[in-house]
Chain A
């Protein structure tokens, strides 16, 4: 790998992209992009996808039944706890 960021190959630049983009730095000013149309297009596409993602899958409320089911299941679990199964006696009772 060369030490001059402007002389990186596309492979070298793209290896650095996750960290470059993830760090919050402005990747568009990277020297490699001054001379590489492909990597500029790649970065532009990734930017478009990240921006579009903000409009995806609007947040929604669960229906009221979900809480009703949760409450019912909690009640059942509590009842189960308060009525534990009777353990068999360690010593069998003498026969009458």
Chain B
């Protein structure tokens, strides 16, 4: 039986592109824009190399390969279509400016994801939204640590969770928790990949994810208990 806590492929879910062949996976799921011609069967490495050398068609192909995942990440983080479009645009513009500096120390998709995450976090900081520091997760505080989960066992979540209720609860998480939860539980990244993207330790990623789930549980239990009240 698969471990329910591990990110496994769910129907319709997009896996990190380095776990599949992005050219194949992306071709299957990507849309019409842009449709560069004459670049038919180039490998991802070739496309990347050409884009790094300033080939605009190759850059357009890179956009095609990665646009869906970057846009989805932005939308999941900010919950607003117009803002997600702006952030996607900014992420790819930054990619265009910085692509020559990519040296292949990590998978390109991880590097691009990291770049997009920084764009999103910068935007959230500009808006003054609550960002939980990644280090904070390692230091449980009296009101935020695991001790708060000792409460009444009769208030557990039963059966299936209402999807909309969970999406609302995710949207209300502090951005740091939301980011880790989305990267791991929604998008399927592993802790080592998240640690690489966010420049934190693997233990930190695990701890932050655990806290995010605890907060979601708390929010869903609160919603359930409100609904049960006459």
Contact = CB atoms under 8 A, between A and B. Distances in A.
Interface of A: 10-11, 14-15, 17-19, 21-24, 26-27, 37-38, 41-42, 44-67, 69-70, 73-74, 77
A59 to B, nearest CB: 4
Contacts of A49: 157, 161, 166, 185, 213, 216-217, 220
Given A21-B5, A50-B5, A60 B185 contact: no
Contacts of B85: 62-63, 65-66
Interface size bracket, B side: 35 or more
A14 B10 CA distance: 28
By secondary structure, the A interface counts as helix
Given A49-B185, A66-B67, 9 more contacts: A37-B153, A38-B153, A46-B217, A48-B159, A50-B4, A52-B166, A55-B10, A66-B89, A70-B93
B132 to A, nearest CB: 15
A18 B93 contact: no
Contact of B67 (A11, A53, A62): A62
By secondary structure, the B interface counts as helix
B63 A24 contact: no
Interface string B64-78: 000111011001100
Contact of B156 (A45, A61, A62): A45
A63 B185 CA distance: 26
A47 B75 CA distance: 25
A60 B149 contact: no
Kindly name the residue among A27, A45, A55 whose own CB sees the greatest number of chain B CB atoms within 10 A.
Answer: A45
B209 A18 contact: yes
B33 A64 contact: yes
B14 A59 contact: yes
A7 to B, nearest CB: 17
A12 B209 CA distance: 18
B71 A60 contact: yes
22 contacts: A11-B146, A15-B146, A17-B146, A19-B203, A22-B5, A26-B3, A38-B150, A42-B156, A45-B157, A48-B160, A49-B213, A49-B217, A50-B213, A54-B185, A55-B10, A57-B170, A59-B72, A64-B31, A67-B33, A70-B89, A70-B92, A74-B59
